[in-house]
Structure 1
């Protein structure tokens, strides 16, 4: 990540020239990148780890609590009901009150609730805690997307989003072996807790600590950034103003949340994001179980094998983000990864009895699906005006996160009915194909900047 950030903060477009403003702007972007991205990256890493560690806890929790696959799928998915219901109002609140306080408080709440998952004893407590955690997390991701619009113009956001969202594959790369080790190490029930309970506790508490740090570390806006000079602030603000004017010239999204609700492009983008997330959450929640079904019973082995797809996804994600910014092209950089996810899921389903091909398929699917996430977000951010961005980004995110409920529940239900995930993978592939087609309907002039 350090190498990628260095390449970004000193890219060819930002080399100092005869115009001193260019040099000042390059310096400002470099400072903003190093000041904001590493910390936000770590926060998002634990955000995603807290969200999907239930996939590893499942390896022991279901037997310990006598829960069915359907109950697990519903519990994994019900998180997103709370998430969707709270997404728009939370992000509008963040827009009014500022990122520093809202992000810090959200992290403290969801970290505490994630740790409290160790007290789950029956389906009802599982559902309630997952729902409340979803409510607490709802504003974090769309809030971060909105936050970046206050620092970086459209042409910078592809790589910024890729650096930020590379926390997803890194969370899998680190979280898989770590979760497998925790389940293996605490298998004898140290301290009166089972391995899956230790997993929730030890992965939830760091988020609480990061939330406290965020209250003191983050700057709400350029005006509050004491680590920038006045010239650097002025140069960045001028670039943001020019970007905003460009958006108003080419976009018909309007400048209010009401106009966003009437805009067909917003709803189409929500459908595209839904299709991407259908693949992402199937992988996040079911990857350990699919690998275990290949014959790998030891949790530590499952953890190490699950890290392989995320390793390749992390490298591919940063490469794709930089390529999209350099070429000023967004649609193919999104649709191609989605088609990769489709092909990978089909391979895993078609050759489900061959561990090597299944792992290759899961790796391709993970590379494609996870890369689709950062490649998607420059699209809505490119044409939503600043006044509409808070509600618009949250609305699109909420529409996409409905997949977080549908996908795990669908896979769990199909597995209970057929004792296999193959049919579910075929269905998810079809959804990804439909989403890739929709991407090409987005007007290129709106997003290729």
Structure 2
């Protein structure tokens, strides 16, 4: 009996050691890279959506109507859409260090310069340039993660990255409310000017740090042992070998793949939900009966907390079951139901927070899941370009939604019609992925 016990332990020890090595390796990669990228994404969202808080005073000072504000929000997506694919392809060629540095320094500088706007056309120009500067950051990071993590870990690691959006919402609401309440006419500047300035400068600094801190590929990671680098390479090679022989490898081939456009429709649900969550939440809460700016800031954080927790649970479930389609469709359905209920409960701030939380679940969980699908069947330039195409096409909805919501609000005095349209588009996007993405491809 003693001999059989020793034989069992001898067989088991290498397996335990291998598992410990794998987990230790990816834990080290996550701490090294994801901690910094998480911080960068927090800054990205702070600088992108702080206009939703600034608008409470900005519209009056610049003479903007709700429709004009909605147009300015939407102009962000023109340059963003046009430059997504080129920027993502460029990252594949020159690496993440140079790409992230360029993007962050430009967007931080433009966001800071928004503190000195005095006319509507300057607001429109700044939003357009900000979108062009930020183009490629999100799809570029998704591509960058595929250089380090195999498919079985991708939804979970993407969800952790997306927690930065939740963190930006959780931090940004109270922070923006604090700045707006306490920096009125400090040194002769408006509170919204201080908001843009104080939240823009850190992005410039982080961009410079990114150039020296990030590592482009695992084989260049001197902070990993040779064994750890080989482990990552082997996992990625195994994944590449499991792809079908006819998996798209060239951009032109990916553009002919209908799944790219189905996934673009699915991805569009995320920025559409984000339009409500990121650009109109303070206004919705104010209309529900909350007047204090600081209270609006704190209440605006609640939907992000709910969405973040739900995303972690849903993304883990999706990875464990290697199932994407139903997880995505159910997440978007929650968002659609939340949007519909919001039109009926606009004068109750507690109910409004609940509805915004359902929209937040769709926003975060759907984003974490959708991006685990393309790298499983695209490779090479098709992966870089395809991810960029999916991202840029999906942002068309983000371009149209603020214009429609702002116009509807100006004409009717209510968000109801626009929000119902959002609910319909989000639900349709979820069904498109459920039907249009083959089960065997989405679960690889």
Q: Distance in 1 between matches of 2:362 and 2:258?
A: 26
Q: 1:354 aligns with which of 348, 366, 369?
A: 348
Number of aligned residue pairs: 432
Aligned-pair CA distance for 1:356: 2.3
Residue of structure 2 equivalent to 1:299:
293
- Aligned to 1:18, the other structure's residue is in SS state helix
1:446 and 2:414 matched: no
Taking structure 1 as reference, are residues 351 and 20 closer, same or farther at Cα in structure 2, changes over 3 Å only? closer
1:368 shift after superposition: 2.1
In structure 2, the residue matched to 1:238 is: 234
Take 1:111 and 1:16, find their aligned partners in 2: how far apart are those partners? 51
| Closer, same or farther: CA 367–16 of 1 in aligned 2, 3 Å | farther
Task: State the Cα distance separating 1:20 from its structure 2 match.
Answer: 5.1
Is the partner of 1:220 in helix, strand or coil?
coil
Is 1:199 the counterpart of 2:195? The answer is yes
Give the superposition deviation at 1:248: 3.1
**Alpha-carbon spacing, 1:219–1:364, altered in 2? closer, same or farther (3 Å):** same
Q: 1:139-154 maps to which residues of 2 (within 5 A)?
A: 139-154=136-151
TM-score w.r.t. the length of structure 2 is 0.95
Shift in Å, 1:193: 1.1
Moved more, 105-114 or 323-332: 323-332
Aligned equivalent of 2:4: none
Question: Is the contact between residue 184 and residue 195 of structure 1 (CA under 8 Å) also seen in structure 2?
Answer: yes
Q: How many angstroms apart in 1 are the aligned matches of 2:232 and 2:327?
A: 27
Pairing of 1:397-412 with structure 2 (within 5 A): 397-412=391-406
SS in 2 for 1:248: coil
Matches within 5 A, 1:40-79: 40-79=37-76
Residue 24 (structure 1) shift: 3.1
Given candidates 82, 90, 93, the residue that maps to 2:90 is 93
Mean Cα deviation higher: 357-366 or 94-103: 357-366
CA contact (8 A) 1:313 1:370 kept: yes
- Output the CA distance in 2 between the equivalents of 1:431 and 1:289: 22
Pairwise mapping of residues 336-415 of structure 1 onto structure 2 (< 5 A)?
336-415=330-409
**Shift of residue 361 of structure 1?**
1.1
List runs of 5+ in structure 1 lacking aligned partners.
1-14
Helix, strand or coil at the partner of 2:297: helix
Partner in structure 1 of residue 24 of structure 2: 27
> 1:114 aligns to what?
111
Tell me, in whole angstroms, the C-alpha distance in 2 between the residues paired with 1:186 and 1:26: 47
Q: Please, what is the CA RMSD of the aligned residues? A: 1.4
1:416 aligns with 2:410: yes
Shift in Å, 1:370 = 2.2
State the alpha-carbon separation in 2 of the partners of residues 90 and 137 from structure 1: 9
Contact 1:178/1:303 (<8 A) preserved: yes
TM-score when scaled to structure 1? 0.94
Larger radius of gyration: 2
Q: Does 1:172 align with 2:166?
A: no
1:390-435 per-position Cα deviation (integer Å, ceiling 9, x unaligned): 1110110001112221111111010001000111111100001111
Q: 1: CA distance between counterparts of 2:395 and 2:375?
A: 17
